[in-house]
Chain A
Amino acid sequence: MTVFIILALVAIITALGMLISRNAVYSALFLVLNFATVAVFYLLLGAPFIAITQVTVYAGAIMVLFLFVIMLLGTDELEDTDNLTWQRPLAIGLAVVLVVEGIYLMLSQNTLGFITTPSEDLGSPQAIGDMLFSKYLLPFEATSILLLVAMVGAIVLTVKNKKGEQS
């Protein structure tokens, strides 16, 4: 339980750090930390496969990509160009209210009693693989289409045509 609380705090702090930080590289690194924390959550929940995937894909591949982009673009520090300053305290206030509402919601009903326990081997690669090819076959195939189109989209948005006629 304590482990969870500590990790939760870490996760929240790194997330806030990512938002608040003025330096793009710092933000990216905070995000990596956040991902790592989430991976640990997965381990705690008994889903080792997802945990490793989280680290590999997110922290390993995606964040590296981010960092490459930041490096290539050479972003400077952001200046404080906020002229809607009244929004910030309002947002913080509303967030607090939301949290309060959430807590009230959880505590007012006996929510904890309703949480189901998943089966033992839910997180194992065998189970995942089994599900992916039987019950969740259609989403799996749909995902492949999605990945294809994401690639196409990425190329469309970024490629510079050599002939220069289409851009």
Chain B
Amino acid sequence: MFDTTMIMAILPEILMLILGLLVLVFDLIWKKRDGRDLGWLTAGGLLFILIVTAAIARPAESTLVFGGMIRYDMMSYVFKLLFIFGSMMTSFFMMDIEQLGKRGEAYILLLVATIGMSLMASSADLIMLYLAIETTSIPMYVLAGFMRDDEKSTEAGFKYLLFGAMSSTIMLYGFSLIFGFTGTTALTAITDFTLPLAVGIIFLMMVGIAFKISLAPLHFWAPDVYEGAPTPITGYLSTASKAAGFAVLLRLFLGLFPETSPYAPTWTMIMAVLATITMTLGNAVALSQTNIKRMLAYSSIAHAGYALVGVVSLSELGVGSVTFYLIAYVMTNLAAFGVIAAFSRVAGSDEISDYAGMSRRNPTLALVALVAFLSLTGMPPFGGFVAKVFVFAAAVKADMIWLAVIGVLNSIIGVYYYLTVLKVIYLHRMEGENEEAHPIPITRPYAIALTVLSFAILAIGIVFGPWFNIASSVAEGLF
């Protein structure tokens, strides 16, 4: 009854579930321990899962398994590895935050969210998709509101919940309509949809996805939630969660609108316009922010816009470029939020002006910040540069040069606020100029995670060949 393909298809999820249960059990029975031990367990377990999945769970060809519920192909494989990696980094960052990392529940919430994301990336059925989205979102709601003493955190969690529930509702309505008209919930059913009403229904579905990737006009939750949630969670939200949304978007969008579809021009125009609004809005509002988490929130919104540029090109290069962009973006944003988490742990503030003199308080941390922020800007030799090149190249190849131009202009705006942060870190001095007396120590989990991420950003930027090949293989699997 069960064959190996089925097991391989959900191997990471099974392993993560076991890990999560282990964490819960150890939380109970392992009395004399530091809260961090669970963090090490989670991180180590995730590393193990990453290696095992990478080694043996690679799909030979695209197949539908579990009664058509999930699709076992390169896209799910690559994205799962990305999520597991992001989750591992996040658990490193979580470990030393009071109130967050000392409790075992945080880790299982993280793990289940990752399971949800993996299922999202591989869903081939509407019911599975909805469940996966909820499995991702609900733990994230809780994690966002985890710090109960912090009013901002509670507010963040609640807002995330409300907004998420609202967009889920709209999306579910769309799903129900599809089922009503086609009698099936398989995603392939939508792609065969010839009903003109399809346009409206598809739009409803997109609402849910647009929420997940914080696309305008469904981006409003992002700044408040990102600012209020504990920083490692924000890091995870802004990267893996968004990537999961993009995975779903890629599957749907490219399934729905192949070259031949008559709706393609309309839809690509809508998406292109939304991408433009998102990019511009994100960059414009980020300019006037003084809180670094909020600034990065708007920057993440803008980055969703950039990634979307690759999607609207509707080509293999487009999909490959989006995947590559997401990989680079996950590394970069995690690094950025990791720096912020490390800093605010010690300095207790998220205001940009409080970062003055950080280069003297901890030069290595400032260097990681430099790498991360320059990569966000899209500066070579970091991953962000290559990612942007490919995404804009896809747009140009699809004859949407205006979109690429807008993207470039937006990147230029972005340079300003990223460099402002770097300027404050490197060129400004603390009050009293005694940075020596206020060093910023980083603990070992941060050191490990930030080092790995920095190298990853550099590797993706310099030796981008293999990474792009992986991203392209995702594209081939989809077409």
Contact B68 A135 (CB under 8 A): yes
Select one of A114, A137, A149 contacting B139, CB under 8 A.
Answer: A149
Select one of A114, A136, A150 contacting B181, CB under 8 A.
Answer: A114
Contact B67 A166 (CB under 8 A): no
| Distance, CA A105 to CA B203, complexed state (A) | 13
| Distance, CA A166 to CA B34, complexed state (A) | 13
B193-209: CB near A (< 8 Å → 1, else 0) gives 00111001000000000
- Please report which residues of chain A, range 128-151, place their CB below 8 angstroms from some CB of chain B when the two chains form the complex: 134-139, 142-143, 145-146, 148-150
Tell me which residues across on chain A come within 8 A of B148, comparing CB atoms.
Answer: 157, 167
A152-B131 in contact given A105-B200, A116-B181 (Cβ < 8 Å): no
In the assembled complex, A115 has its CB within 8 A of some CB on chain B: yes
A156-B181 in contact given A145-B115, A166-B102 (Cβ < 8 Å): no
Contact B182 A149 (CB under 8 A): no
In the assembled complex, B146 has its CB within 8 A of some CB on chain A: yes
In the assembled complex, B134 has its CB within 8 A of some CB on chain A: yes
Q: Separation in Å of the B100 CB from the closest CB of chain A?
A: 10
Interface size on B, residues (CB 8 A): 42
In the assembled complex, A155 has its CB within 8 A of some CB on chain B: yes
Contact B197 A111 (CB under 8 A): yes
- Which of B75-83, B105-113, B251-259 has 4 or more CB atoms under 8 Å from chain A? B105-113
| Distance, CA A153 to CA B200, complexed state (A) | 35
Contact B105 A137 (CB under 8 A): no
Which chain A residue shows the least CB distance to B136?
A: A146
Tell me which residues across on chain A come within 8 A of B10, comparing CB atoms.
Answer: 138
Contact A136 B145 (CB under 8 A): no
Contact B105 A142 (CB under 8 A): no
In the assembled complex, B127 has its CB within 8 A of some CB on chain A: yes
Which chain A residue shows the least CB distance to B194?
A: A114
Tell me which residues across on chain B come within 8 A of A118, comparing CB atoms.
Answer: 183
In the assembled complex, A109 has its CB within 8 A of some CB on chain B: yes
In the assembled complex, B132 has its CB within 8 A of some CB on chain A: yes
A157-B68 in contact given A116-B180, A143-B131 (Cβ < 8 Å): no
Select one of A105, A116, A153 contacting B197, CB under 8 A.
Answer: A105
Q: Separation in Å of the B158 CB from the closest CB of chain A?
A: 10
A135-B67 in contact given A115-B180, A116-B181 (Cβ < 8 Å): yes
Tell me which residues across on chain B come within 8 A of A167, comparing CB atoms.
Answer: 99, 148-149
Which chain B residue shows the least CB distance to A105?
A: B200
Which chain A residue shows the least CB distance to B137?
A: A146
In the assembled complex, B138 has its CB within 8 A of some CB on chain A: yes
Q: Separation in Å of the A99 CB from the closest CB of chain B?
A: 13
Contact A137 B135 (CB under 8 A): no
B119-137: CB near A (< 8 Å → 1, else 0) gives 1000001011001101100
Contact A156 B197 (CB under 8 A): no
In the assembled complex, B468 has its CB within 8 A of some CB on chain A: no
Tell me which residues across on chain A come within 8 A of B181, comparing CB atoms.
Answer: 111, 114-116
A152-B138 in contact given A109-B195, A138-B66 (Cβ < 8 Å): no
In the assembled complex, B430 has its CB within 8 A of some CB on chain A: no
Tell me which residues across on chain A come within 8 A of B156, comparing CB atoms.
Answer: none
| Distance, CA A116 to CA B184, complexed state (A) | 10
Contact B105 A152 (CB under 8 A): yes
A153-B139 in contact given A136-B69, A143-B131, A146-B134 (Cβ < 8 Å): yes
Contact B127 A136 (CB under 8 A): yes
Tell me which residues across on chain B come within 8 A of A150, comparing CB atoms.
Answer: 138
In the assembled complex, B142 has its CB within 8 A of some CB on chain A: yes
Tell me which residues across on chain B come within 8 A of A134, comparing CB atoms.
Answer: 67
Select one of A135, A138, A146, A166 contacting B138, CB under 8 A.
Answer: A146
* Residue picked from A111, A114, A145, most chain B C-beta under 10 Å: A145
| Distance, CA A55 to CA B141, complexed state (A) | 27
In the assembled complex, B70 has its CB within 8 A of some CB on chain A: yes
A109-B196 in contact given A114-B181, A115-B181 (Cβ < 8 Å): yes
Contact B127 A139 (CB under 8 A): yes
Tell me which residues across on chain A come within 8 A of B424, comparing CB atoms.
Answer: none
In the assembled complex, B103 has its CB within 8 A of some CB on chain A: yes
A142-B132 in contact given A109-B195, A116-B183 (Cβ < 8 Å): yes
In the assembled complex, B8 has its CB within 8 A of some CB on chain A: no
| Distance, CA A145 to CA B115, complexed state (A) | 9
Which chain B residue shows the least CB distance to A106?
A: B197
Contact B142 A114 (CB under 8 A): no
Select one of A105, A116, A138, A155 contacting B69, CB under 8 A.
Answer: A138
Q: Separation in Å of the A84 CB from the closest CB of chain B?
A: 14
Q: Separation in Å of the B64 CB from the closest CB of chain A?
A: 12
| Distance, CA A114 to CA B102, complexed state (A) | 55
Which chain B residue shows the least CB distance to A156?
A: B105
| Distance, CA A111 to CA B183, complexed state (A) | 14
| Distance, CA A111 to CA B141, complexed state (A) | 38
| Distance, CA A107 to CA B131, complexed state (A) | 32
> Which residues from chain A sit less than 8 Å from chain B, CB to CB?
105-106, 109, 111, 114-116, 118, 134-139, 142-143, 145-146, 148-150, 152-153, 155-157, 166-167
A–B pairs, 30, beta carbons within 8 Å: A105-B197, A105-B200, A106-B197, A109-B195, A109-B197, A111-B197, A115-B180, A135-B68, A136-B67, A142-B116, A142-B119, A142-B128, A142-B131, A143-B131, A145-B112, A146-B135, A148-B112, A149-B108, A152-B24, A152-B105, A153-B109, A153-B139, A153-B141, A156-B106, A156-B142, A166-B102, A166-B103, A167-B99, A167-B148, A167-B149
> Which residues from chain B sit less than 8 Å from chain A, CB to CB?
10, 17, 24, 66-70, 99, 102-103, 105-106, 108-109, 112, 115-116, 119, 125, 127-128, 131-132, 134-135, 138-139, 141-142, 145-146, 148-149, 180-183, 195-197, 200
Given contact pairs A111-B181, A156-B142, enumerate 11 new A-B contacts (beta carbons under 8 Å). Answer: A115-B180, A135-B67, A136-B127, A142-B135, A148-B112, A149-B135, A153-B109, A153-B142, A156-B109, A157-B142, A167-B148
Nearest first, the 4 A-B pairs at minimum CB distance are: A153-B142, A116-B183, A135-B67, A149-B112
